[in-house]
Amino acid sequence: MKNILAILAIILVIWFGLSLFEMSSEDVAEQEFNNSGQAKAVESETDLWPFYENEEAGLFFNYPSNIVLKEEGERYQNNELSLMIDIVEMDAIEDLMGYDKESSLLNMEALANGEYGDKADFALEVSQKVRNLGDVNAQEFMVLGRFEVCDVTFERKLMFFKDGQRYRITVRGNKDLIASTMPEYFEKNEENCADELIWNFEKQEEFYKVLSEGKGSAEVQEWFDSFDKVIDTIKFTEEQAVSTKDLLLGKWISVDDEKSIIEFTSEEKIDYYDEKEMSREEFQIYFSKANQTEDDDGSHLIVSTDDEVLEYTIVHVGANDLELTYLARGNTLKYIKQ
């Protein structure tokens, strides 16, 4: 009996020692992990979110895991919090409602100057803001309905222009949750909309301001704040290339008429004739990947006057020579550096 008890005592001592050793090993491993810097990689909430990446466009951002990322052209569902990213070449823009190419070119120039530009879509006026994304400014706005009185929409949108492309990011809210949790902003119009809740249009501006102050219902505030969370994570990658704009700077003499001179400053295109200034207009440059050729990198020159937008293709620009095509007429203009 004594022998059995002695054996049991020895087993217990060995088991206890091994347990202490195992716990000590786990503690050491945990401490090594914490000291390695790997633990710090998930300190930010955004590090745990899904990741959107478009290498061709050079666009990257994170989005909360409760948002459904929709593929381009995929339909929204009213009962979900969803995110859509739309990227299109400037030359391929065919949209209406202020998204057309001419409006886009004007807005691209306005944003480059820190101005909002023209209204696009059915944007709620009080929500229209310029949002800076680093080197790029964007139009930020909210859409609460379109076309007819019964339509109720919950979209926060960001639109910007970069490298000859238009970007639109949309975060769309859950229609049923929003209307039911903040009913004071809605009403019924049984004659036109049956039992559906529709906007009390006089309260839309107040609705936006309440959300801007973080005082909406939990469900509605989640939609509103998710947009900001996504936009705050946007990053771009930049390709190193010779700047077409830098090459344009200075005065250029027309090959066909030496009295005709154009000058590019950092912001303006100035036209002279016989040493007299004829016009001074702001300009922008954008790049069209769709129109790139071996001899043409796809650069376009946009000059905005009071009445219209003039568009040129930059066929070639070098240290001493410049060739433009005026798209409205199709004629080629050649210059040499003064």
* Domain ranges, ordered by start, for the chain: 45-236, 244-337
0.95 exceeded by pTM: no
The CATH label, of 3.40.1000, 1.10.10, 1.20.1740, 3.10.20, for the domain at 45-236 is 3.40.1000
Query: CA torsion angle for 259, 264, 270, 271 (degrees, to 10)?
Result: 30
Q: In angstroms, rounded to a whole number, what is the distance separating the alpha carbons of residues 33 and 26?
A: 11
Per CATH, 45-236 and 244-337 having the same topology is answered no
Task: Count Cβ atoms within 10 A of the Cβ of residue 224 and give its class: 0-12 exposed, 13-18 middle, 19 or more buried.
Answer: buried
Can you tell me which residue has the tokens 């290498």? 55
Q: Which CATH class is domain 244-337?
A: mainly beta
pLDDT per residue, tens digit, the chain (338 aa), is 545 545 545 555 455 555 544 444 445 444 554 444 444 444 566 667 888 888 777 888 988 888 988 876 667 666 778 999 999 988 888 888 888 888 888 898 889 888 999 999 999 999 999 999 988 899 999 999 998 889 989 999 999 998 888 999 999 998 888 888 999 999 988 888 888 889 999 999 999 999 999 999 998 999 999 999 999 999 887 654 446 778 888 999 999 999 999 999 888 899 999 999 999 998 888 766 555 555 555 678 888 877 778 888 888 888 788 999 888 888 899 999 88
- Angle at alpha carbon of residue 243, lines to 237 and 249, rounded to 5°: 150
User: Can you give the pLDDT at residue 294?
Assistant: 55
Q: In angstroms, rounded to a whole number, what is the distance separating the alpha carbons of residues 38 and 56?
A: 30
Q: How many CB atoms lie within 10 A of CB 270?
A: 16
User: Can you give the pLDDT at residue 252?
Assistant: 94
Contact criterion met (CB below 8 Å) for 183 and 197: yes
Query: 3-class DSSP state for residue 194?
Result: coil
- The residues, any chain, with a CB within 8 Å of residue 227's CB and separated by 6 or more, are 156, 158, 171
Question: What are the φ and ψ backbone dihedral angles of 244, each rounded to 5 degrees?
Answer: -60, -40
- DSSP element (H, E) containing 226: helix 218-231
End-to-end CA distance of the chain: 112
Nearest CA among 259, 335, 260 for reference residue 301: 335
User: Can you give the pLDDT at residue 295?
Assistant: 55
